[in-house]
Structure formats: structure tokens, C-alpha cells
């Protein structure tokens, strides 16, 4: 059974698809594609069906040389069962996810993305949507750091 990761932000067009694609990139480099699966979702339904934001895609292409793939979808209660670890980008999305877990049986699966950073000290991945290109570049840097830490943890504890 592969270990399944779900990255979550508000609209699922900037931060969470970036995390998903960066993580997939690192997983492929580590030759672990059969062992770890990634997906992403948004807590809102604003952008369902939309591709990743073009500014986010530009930052990922420039910084890592990867193309952001995927279409936005909304977080579902069934995601609690379907994923081993759910990784919201910020405190607000963390709280929104936990609110859906009324029985509190899945709280242990929900961890803030920045918990896995080793270089950066930010506690949340900031939403770059209303800012300039520098914000998108910062998100990519932050997510590379967090994804590297996350991959190290998953490899040591789950595989």
C-alpha cells in the first residue's frame, strides 16, 4: 500500500498544487513513485476544475524547471479515510479541515506544511494570490524546503 499525502490550501490553484507537484518531483528523483502518492485539494470550491495559477506555474518553471499539473478540487470528508497525512498550508485551512472531522478521529493525520521546514522559520505558507511575483517565488522556496523535510520523514517512518 503506498503512503498517501494530501496538500490543502484555500482554492487549490497556488500553494497546494505547487506542493503536490514539487513533492512528486522529489519522489521521482528518489525513485519512490510506487511508494508515495500525492494529491491536492482546496477547502473552498472557488476554483474547482481550474488549472494551477499561471503565476505559480511560472515560478515553479523558473525555480525548479517543473510544470504544474492538475485541476482544482474541493476537500471532501472521504479524504480523511483516503489519505495518511493531510497537509494544510496555513492555520485557517488547518482549522477548516479539523472542523469537518466532527468525531475527532482523524486529527492526528492533519499537520501544518511548515512543520517540515528545516531552512525556513515561517509557520505558514503565505497565500501569494493577491501579491506580486516575488510572493510566488517565496512560496516555491518554502515548499521545496517543506517537501524535502516531509520526504525525509516519510522515508524514515513509513517506508
> What pLDDT tens digit does each residue of the chain (159 aa) get?
999 999 999 999 999 999 999 999 999 999 999 999 999 999 999 999 999 999 999 999 999 999 999 999 999 999 999 999 999 999 999 999 999 999 999 999 999 999 999 999 999 999 999 999 999 999 999 999 999 999 999 999 998
What is this structure's pTM?
A: 0.98
Residue from 59, 69, 64 nearest 21 by CA: 69
Between CA 102 and CA 79 the distance in angstroms is 14
Question: What is the model's pLDDT at position 124?
Answer: 98
By annotation, the residues acting in catalysis are 9, 15, 127
Question: What is the model's pLDDT at position 3?
Answer: 98
End-to-end Cα distance, the chain: 10
Question: What is the model's pLDDT at position 159?
Answer: 86
Amino acid at each position: 500500500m503506498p503512503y498517501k499525502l494530501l496538500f490543502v490550501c484555500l482554492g487549490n490553484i497556488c500553494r497546494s498544487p505547487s506542493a503536490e507537484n514539487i513533492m512528486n518531483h522529489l519522489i521521482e528523483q528518489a525513485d519512490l513513485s510506487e511508494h508515495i502518492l500525492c494529491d491536492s485539494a482546496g477547502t473552498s470550491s472557488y476554483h474547482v476544475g481550474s488549472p494551477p495559477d499561471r503565476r505559480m506555474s511560472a515560478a515553479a518553471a523558473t525555480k525548479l524547471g517543473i510544470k504544474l499539473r492538475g485541476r482544482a478540487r474541493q476537500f471532501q470528508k472521504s479524504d480523511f479515510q483516503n489519505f495518511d497525512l493531510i497537509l494544510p498550508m496555513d492555520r485557517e485551512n488547518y482549522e477548516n479541515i479539523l472542523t469537518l472531522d466532527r468525531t475527532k478521529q482523524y486529527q492526528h493525520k492533519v499537520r501544518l506544511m511548515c512543520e517540515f521546514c528545516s531552512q525556513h522559520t515561517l509557520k505558514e505558507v503565505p497565500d501569494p494570490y493577491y501579491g506580486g511575483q516575488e510572493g510566488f517565488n517565496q512560496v516555491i522556496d518554502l515548499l521545496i524546503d517543506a517537501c524535502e523535510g516531509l520526504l525525509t520523514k516519510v522515508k524514515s517512518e513509513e517506508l
